[in-house]
Amino acid sequence: MIEDMFRLNGDTAVVLGGTGVLGGAMAEALARAGARVAIVGRNAERGQDRVRCIQSAGGTAIFHAADAQNRDSLMTTSDRIAEEWGPPSVLVNAAGGNRADATLPPGADFCQLPLAAWQGVFDLNLVGGVLLPCQVFGASMLAAGKGSIINIASISSVLPLSRVVAYSAAKAAVVSLTKFLAREWATRGVRVNAISPGFFPAEQNRALLFKPDGSYSERGEQIIRHTPMARFGEAQELAGTVVWLASQKASSFVTGQNIVVDGGFSAVTI
């Protein structure tokens, strides 16, 4: 039956950044589809809250604290997950974000953007967000001969956005690395794809999109006018895409793709 194609029973999914709004919603979706979900992040309180939420809905989840920018930390977490549930068959890399010192205010001089800020954004989104997790957890997938890696990029990887040049460049690099790994691992049973969300309100961008009274900011209004669906996305609207890419039955011939979920934002050019 068609619904069986989207069942993840027997799969172990690791979700880095599962303590955040988008990563957490994807972790919950994978659990609802039947996967055992290991949430990995630095915030134990939020991680345990997400585990309780999944468990209260009848799912299976655990939390492991780890620093995605530290290989030893990830190795320790990988070993612990393998001891409990075996090697993962799904990896979602949802950690990342921007930095205030890498954001250019209106009229700012790009030539004065601090190198440390630029490097920090790349470390957060590319090195810790994708490179190291793919090396650590990808190794066990390659050894098992199966797996689906889902890297979370951004609409800014497709359309470089004003003011967040370092973030846009880092997310474009995420898509490039995704395609490289897809090519390298295609014959070894491991698929690698990316999801590029459009504008989904979360902790780190809420002040950019909304005024304190809850109305749209100037930036928020610009985005809404540019989005054919005339609204922001909701975190649960990523659920179908992540489950589809995670499922070997549903997406067995899909690799090296960047799936854009943006309400049509990238379809508008003028």
Catalytic hit among 137, 167, 232, 265 = 167
Q: Which SS3 state, helix, strand or coil, does residue 93 take?
A: strand
Structure tokens at 186: 């295609």
Our answer to whether residue 167 is catalytic in this structure is: yes
**In b/e form, how buried is each residue of 191-211, taking b as 16+ CB within 10 angstroms?**
bbbbbbbbbbbbeebeebbbe
* CA pair distance 9, 126, nearest whole angstrom: 30
Structure tokens at 82: 């393998």
Q: Which SS3 state, helix, strand or coil, does residue 196 take?
A: strand
Q: Name the residue with tokens 């996305």.
A: 233
Cα angle: 147, vertex 199, 23; to 5 degrees: 35
β-pairing verdict for 12-16 and 190-197: unpaired
* CA pair distance 150, 95, nearest whole angstrom: 12
Identify which of 91, 36, 29 has the alpha carbon closest to the alpha carbon of residue 241: 29
Mind telling me the catalytic residues?
167
